[in-house]
Amino acid sequence: MAPRILLARHGQTEWSLSGKHTGRTDIPLLDEGRRGAKLLGERLHRAPWNGLPDVEVRTSPLIRAKETCELAGFGDRAADWDALMEIDYGAYEGLTPAEIKADRPDWLIWRDGVPEGETLAQVTQRVDGVIEEVRTGGRDVLVFAHGHILRSLCARWLGEDISFGARIRLDPTSLSVLGWAYGAPAIERWNDTGHLG
C-alpha cells in the first residue's frame, strides 16, 4: 500500500482561540489544548490505530505542535521537521482576519498572501517537498503541525492549487488522513474531532 500521511493539528492556544494569525510566534497550549492533545493520543493508542507502531512521527519544531505530540504520547518517537512550521505571516502575524480586512476588505490569504512574509509559491514548494518525502519514504507518517500549513498540504496532496485550502476547515486537535482511492491521492478522513466528545 502506498504511504499515507496522518495529520494532527496542534491543540488550542490563546491566539488560535481568538483567531489571530500565529505563524512563527512560539505560543504554548492552553489547558483546553493540553486536554485535547491527551484525548487525541488516547484515541490513537486504541483500536484501530493501536499506537501506530510502524508509523514515522514528525513534528513542527514550534512548541504548540511539539507539546501536542508529547501529550499525545508520541514525543519519544518524533523528529522535528522544519518544513512543517506554520506559514510565515510577516506583517500579519498576530492579527485577526477582521483586523486585516479593516484595511483590505476583499483580502483572502489563500489568494492574496501576506506582506513581508512567505509567498504562496514558497509555501507550495515547501509542502510539495513534504509530500515527495512521504510518498517516497515507504511508510505512513504522522505529523503534528498547524492549521494553514496542513490545509496547504492537503490541497497539494490532491494535486490542487494551494488556494483549495480556503475550502477545507481544520480545527485544533483534529485528526485527518490523506491517502489513496482508485490509485489517486484522496482524503480518507478530514477534521475529525470525535475524540474531543
Known catalytic residues are 10, 86
* CB-count burial class (<10 Å; 0-12, 13-18, 19+) for 186: middle
Contact indicator for 131, 156 with CB cutoff of 8 Å: yes
- What is the arrangement of strands in the sheet containing 56-59, beginning at the earlier edge strand? 78-80, 56-59, 141-145, 5-9, 175-181, 184-192
Secondary structure class of 155 (helix, strand, coil):
helix
Please, what is the Cα angle at 42 between 173 and 4, to 5 degrees?
A: 65
Distance from C-alpha of 53 to C-alpha of 140, rounded to nearest angstrom: 10
Distance from C-alpha of 105 to C-alpha of 111, rounded to nearest angstrom: 13
CB within 8 Å of 77: residues ≥ 6 apart: 57
User: Which of 93, 189, 166, 81 has its CA nearest to residue 127?
Assistant: 81
